[in-house]
Amino acid sequence: MTQSDDLMQLDSLWRGVHVATMKDGQYSTIENAAIGVRGGRIAWVGPADQLPRYQTQQEHNMAGCWVTPGLIDCHTHLVFGGNRAGEFEQRLNGVSYQDIAAQGGGIAASVSATRAASEADLVASSKRRLQSLMRDGVTTVEIKSGYGLSLESELKMLRVATTLGNELPVTIKRTCLAAHAMPPEFDDKDRYIDYLCHEVLPKVATLGMADAVDAFCEHIAFSPEQVERYFQTAGQLGLPVKLHAEQLSALGGSAMAARYQALSADHLEFITEDDVKAMASAGTVAVLLPGAFYTLKETQRPPMSLLREHGVKIAIATDANPGTSPALSLRLMMNMACTLFGMTPEEALAGTTLNAANALGMAHTHGSLEMGKVADFICWDVESPGELSYWLGGDLVKQRIQQGIISL
Ligand code: DI6
Ligand code: FE
C-alpha cells in the first residue's frame, strides 16, 4: 500500500455518529459526524460530509449512536477497606452522621478497616467499584487517599490508586487527602497538621505519588487556618490544592481555597456569595456532590443561581465513599444534580466532562472532543444527549473508547 501525503492518516475512524463535543461546556452538536483517531488523540472531528480524504487501519460504523467525551469522575474516595452498611441502617433509625462520627464510627471506622487491609485486598475491592464506574461511561477517575492518616497507610492508598490505573484502561488522578480526619494516634489537630506538613506531604511529593492535595474543612475536621498551613506546604512542594468545603456549615473554606488558586472547592451547600465571588475570580471549579446531599438527607442546596450568575464552572462527581455517598454511577449523579439541584441535562454533562476536567487541571487535554485532545469517548445507545441524565441506571454504553482504543 502506498501512502500519499495528501491523505489524512488515521489509526481508526468512527462514522455514523452524532457528537456532543462539549467544546466550551456546550453540547455543540454535530449530527452525522465522523471522528478520526491517531496515536490516541483526536485527529479529526466534524460533519462526515467534510471529512478530508483519509487512510485508516480500522473503520467503525455506529449506525446513528450519540458520542460524548468520556465521563470524568473528579471526586471519589474509591479506595477503602470494608464498608459501612451498618451505619446506613443506624442513620435510617435517626442517628446523625455527626453522632456516628462522635461515637468512633464514620471516617474512623474506614480508617481502621483500610489500615488493616492488605494492598492486594484494597486493589481487588476497589477494582470492582472502579469497573462499575467504567461500565457506565467513565474514562477518568480521581481517587483520594484519606483513610490512612499516617505516612505509611496514605502511601499504601496512593499506591493502590496507581495500580488501578496501570491494570485497567482508565486514567487515574491521585489526590492526597491526608487532612481528612484525626487519626487515633493524635489528639491535637495542630500537631497532626504539623506532621502532615513536615513528614507526609514532602514524602508524597518526593515520591511523585499525588497529582493534588485535598483537605476536609469542617467543624468535625479541620479549620480554615489549619488547612491554610497545609496548603502553604502543598504550594511549596508544587502540588495544586482542592478542598471539601461548606458541606455541613459555612466556614469560608472555599474563599480561602480560592486564595490558594484551588482547582476546585467541593460540596458547597453552605457557600456564601462572597465565597462564590472569590471562586469566580480564581477560576476555582465548584464540584457538586448530589450523592452525599441525598445520602445525608440534606435540605440546604448549593446556590445554583449564585454560581451561574458569577460564572463559576460547575462539575458533578460521585464522591464515591463508604459513608456519605456509596455511589457507583456518575450518570445517576447527573440525574440527581438535575432533580435535586435544578441543573439542566446540558449543565450536568458539562459537569462530568469539560468542567470536571478543569477541576482536575486537565482541560487542555481532556473533557471535550476537539482535535488534538486525548481520544476518550463514549458511543451511547441513546437518541439525544439529554437521555444521559434522564435514565436512572440502565446499560447505555455501546462502545467505550479510551485513548483511541475500544475497551469494555
Ligand atoms: N466529605 C465526604 O463526603 C466524605 N469525606 C468528606 O470529607 C465522607 C467520608 C466518609 O464518611 O467516609
Ligand atoms: Fe468527598
pLDDT tens digits in sequence order for the chain, 408 residues long: 455 568 999 999 999 999 999 999 999 999 999 999 999 999 999 999 999 999 999 999 999 999 999 999 999 999 999 999 999 999 999 999 889 988 989 999 999 999 999 999 999 999 999 999 999 999 999 999 999 999 999 999 999 999 999 999 999 999 999 999 999 999 999 999 999 999 999 999 999 999 999 999 999 899 999 999 999 999 999 999 999 999 999 999 999 999 999 999 999 999 999 999 999 999 999 999 999 999 999 999 999 999 999 999 999 999 999 999 999 999 999 999 999 999 999 999 999 999 999 999 999 999 999 999 999 999 999 999 999 999 999 999 999 999 999 997
Question: How many A from CA of 75 to the centre of ligand 2?
Answer: 6
Helix (H) or strand (E) holding 233: helix 224-236
Question: For residues 172 and 163, what is the distance between their CA atoms, to the nearest angstrom?
Answer: 9
Question: For residues 392 and 406, what is the distance between their CA atoms, to the nearest angstrom?
Answer: 25
Helix (H) or strand (E) holding 202: helix 201-206
- Cβ of 319 below 6 Å from ligand 1: yes
Question: How many A from CA of 332 to the centre of ligand 2?
Answer: 17
Question: What are the C-alpha distances in Å from 152 to residues 41, 125, 158, 204?
Answer: 37, 20, 10, 10
- Measured by CA distance, the residue closest to atom 3 of ligand 1 is 324
Listed in order, strand segments (DSSP E) in 269-324 are: 285-288, 314-316
Local structure of 403: helix, strand or coil: coil
**Residue among 10, 1, 22, 3 at smallest CA distance from 52:** 10
Which ranges of 53-185 would DSSP assign to H, the alpha helix? 85-92, 97-102, 107-116, 119-135, 151-167
Question: For residues 183 and 399, what is the distance between their CA atoms, to the nearest angstrom?
Answer: 43
pTM of the model: 0.97
List Cβ neighbours of 261 (8 Å cut-off, separation of 6 or more).
Answer: 240, 241, 282, 283, 284
pLDDT at 101: 87
- Cβ of 30 below 6 Å from ligand 1: no
Atom index in ligand 1 nearest the CA of residue 181 equals 7
Are 48 and 96 in contact by the 8 Å Cβ rule? The answer is: no
Question: For residues 258 and 244, what is the distance between their CA atoms, to the nearest angstrom?
Answer: 12
Question: How many A from CA of 384 to the centre of ligand 2?
Answer: 31
In the numeric block, the cell 441502617 is attached to 89
pLDDT at 27: 98
Nearest ligand atom owner, CA of 73 = 2
Question: How many A from CA of 216 to the centre of ligand 1?
Answer: 8
DSSP 23: G
Local structure of 364: helix, strand or coil: coil
Question: For residues 269 and 238, what is the distance between their CA atoms, to the nearest angstrom?
Answer: 29
Atom index in ligand 1 nearest the CA of residue 325 equals 3
Are 357 and 366 in contact by the 8 Å Cβ rule? The answer is: yes
Question: For residues 170 and 162, what is the distance between their CA atoms, to the nearest angstrom?
Answer: 11
**Residue among 73, 33, 15, 75 at smallest CA distance from 399:** 15
Residue 175's φ and ψ, nearest 5 degrees, are -120, 130
Atom index in ligand 1 nearest the CA of residue 322 equals 12
Question: What are the C-alpha distances in Å from 392 to residues 73, 135, 301, 334, 388?
Answer: 17, 15, 21, 10, 9
Atom index in ligand 1 nearest the CA of residue 289 equals 3
pLDDT at 102: 87
Question: How many A from CA of 375 to the centre of ligand 2?
Answer: 28
